[in-house]
Amino acid sequence: MWTRFAKSGALAALVIAALHMATLRPAEAVPITEAFTGTITFAESGNPFGANVGGPVNVSVTYDDALLTGLGEEFVSIDSDAAFDLNVTFGSVAFVANQDSGFGSGFPELSFFDGKLVAIDFVVDFVFGDYLDLTFSAFDSFTITDNENFEQVLVSGTLGLTAVPEPGTLALIGAGLAGLGLIRRKLA
């Protein structure tokens, strides 16, 4: 009886270890998506977005974390890979990565500190030649300024991270549960 249990346990451990090793391919691009939701706390009257205090803000960004060492300050350009993406929605307006005025020359740009996303540099030529700078800092707040009018703040608010599970983690948990189920079935 004990040898059957030991064999089943060893087999389950081997399967889990193999699945874990399969998810550790550093050179392969695995897009990571982070989503942030928030609330507008200040909106300049007559702002071009139709944004109002209390309105929702949604930010979603997809990037490859294999480009990061996880040490110190690092930057990733959203235009460096077709799989990367950035979506920002507030008021009645939605912006995407290729609307950045520097798209194709290294922007929009994600800033990381010790592997954690801390800011987005996203500049949009929006209304009548005004450049709007969307700044998300440390992902607890955001501001949208009009660069043509001395950095006038048009809209600002708060943000919070919405967890998006990683596929490798889910596969590992699923394999572990399947292995426990097999062990239980063989013991019964």
What string of pLDDT tens digits covers the 188 residues of the chain?
545 555 555 555 665 665 555 555 445 557 888 888 889 899 888 877 788 899 998 888 888 888 888 899 999 888 867 778 888 887 678 888 888 888 888 888 888 888 888 888 888 776 555 566 667 666 678 887 776 666 678 788 888 766 555 555 666 677 777 777 777 777 76
CA 179 to CA 170: how far, in whole Å? Answer: 14
pTM of the model: 0.65
CA 129 to CA 123: how far, in whole Å? Answer: 12
Q: Which amino acid is at 97?
A: A
Long-range contacts at 175-183 (CB < 8 A, ≥ 24 apart): 175/15, 175/16, 175/19, 176/12, 176/16, 179/11, 179/12, 179/13, 179/15, 179/16, 180/12, 182/8, 182/12, 183/5, 183/8, 183/9, 183/12
pLDDT of 73 reads 92
pLDDT of 28 reads 55
Residue 6 in contact with residue 38, Cβ under 8 Å?
Answer: no
pLDDT of 25 reads 47
